[in-house]
Amino acid sequence: MFDAPGGRREIISRAHIDVVLVEPQKSENIGAAARAMANMGLGRLVLVRPRSLHRELMESAATCHALDVLEKMSVFQDLDQALAPYTLVAGTTARRGRRRGPFHTPRQLSPLILAGGPAALLFGPERMGLSTGDLRRCQKVVRIPTDRPEASSLNLAQAVLILGYELLLAAEEASGPAAEPLALRPAPQAELAGMYADLTGFLLQIGFLPADNPEHWLMNIKKIFNRSLLTSGECNLWRGICRQGRWALAHPGLAVSAPLERPGHVR
């Protein structure tokens, strides 16, 4: 928080934090989520394969205060394409599961989201939430604590509001004219996807991953990388390692004398 001209108190912007809804089922819920975003100063609303886009119902739930959020809304048919530009994706879930965590509360994760580059808060369909496959696309997973395990599921707009509120509090508590920036800028999702595709192919080639379900076992590797958030240079480094490994397998007699890939240079 800092003093703006005229003595008005300003807080750090959350405009770089977008809300991405996967297969929202009701237009009213889309509008209510937009209203929550406007209340808390979040960025753009992004929809992936929405079931319904009834304009009047969305605007009625959004009220006049969030009509600009609906006007700037983007719609995608492919989740990977929707997430491609973000350097941090935080998926939300009410369901527990050994393969779905590790879990963070909104309060724990808000400073990281606030301090980074373009970020996405990912929400699943109202009835079931995000699938395990969707959560595998996320670097962090958020679970909102509730008083009773049997009542852990929240309304979509409520969940958006709670995360937005925690981000607002984090912005108010951050000192100086801006949040303390991350030491290194994480790579966008498109670069991570390319690196994981190369890594999966190489690990399949050497027999480290089972061919029938490689993604299930790759998730354990992703969890290691997600703890620190890979940069673009680190993604390129791992792609270079994979390329060099494939070259060595194809030329076993020349592997020792093969020219090494320089970090950051990937063909």
Tens digit of each residue's pLDDT (9 = 90 or more) over 3-33: 444 444 567 889 999 999 999 999 999 999 9
What per-residue confidence (pLDDT) applies to 7? 42
What is the pLDDT confidence band of residue 267, given thresholds at 50, 70 and 90?
very low
* Band of pLDDT at residue 96, cut at 50, 70 and 90: confident
> What is the predicted pLDDT for the residue at 6?
45
CA 106, 192, 178, 10 torsion: positive or negative? negative
Domain ranges for the chain, please list them: 2-173, 189-254
| Rounded average pLDDT over 210-225 | 85
CA distance 134 to 124: 8
Partners of residue 103 on adjacent β-strands = 141
Nearest to 36 by CA among 167, 168, 158: 158
In the predicted model, is pLDDT for residue 102 greater than 80?
Answer: yes
pLDDT tens digits, residue range 47-80?
A: 999 999 999 999 999 999 999 999 999 999 999 9
Q: Is pLDDT larger for residue 142 or for residue 213?
A: 142
Res. 256: pLDDT tops 80: no
Single pTM value for the model: 0.74
pLDDT of amino acid 59 = 96
What pLDDT does 186 receive?
84
Average pLDDT, the chain: 85
Percent residues over pLDDT 90 in the chain: 54
What is the rounded average pLDDT of the residues 86-100?
85
112-126, 144-158, 163-177: which has the highest mean pLDDT? 112-126
pLDDT at residue number 115:
85
| Average pLDDT of the residues in 230-250 | 89
Given a cut of 50, whether residue 125 has pLDDT beyond it is yes
Give CA–CA dist 185/88, Å, rounded. 10
Residue that wins the pLDDT comparison between 223 and 259? 223
Report whether pLDDT(258) > 60.
no
Judged by average pLDDT, the poorest of 51-60, 208-217, 247-256 is 247-256
Mean pLDDT of 35-46: 97
Domain 2-173 has CATH 3.40.1280.10: yes
Instruction: Look at residue 1 in the predicted model and tell me its pLDDT.
Output: 43
The CATH number assigned to the domain with range 189-254 reads 1.10.8
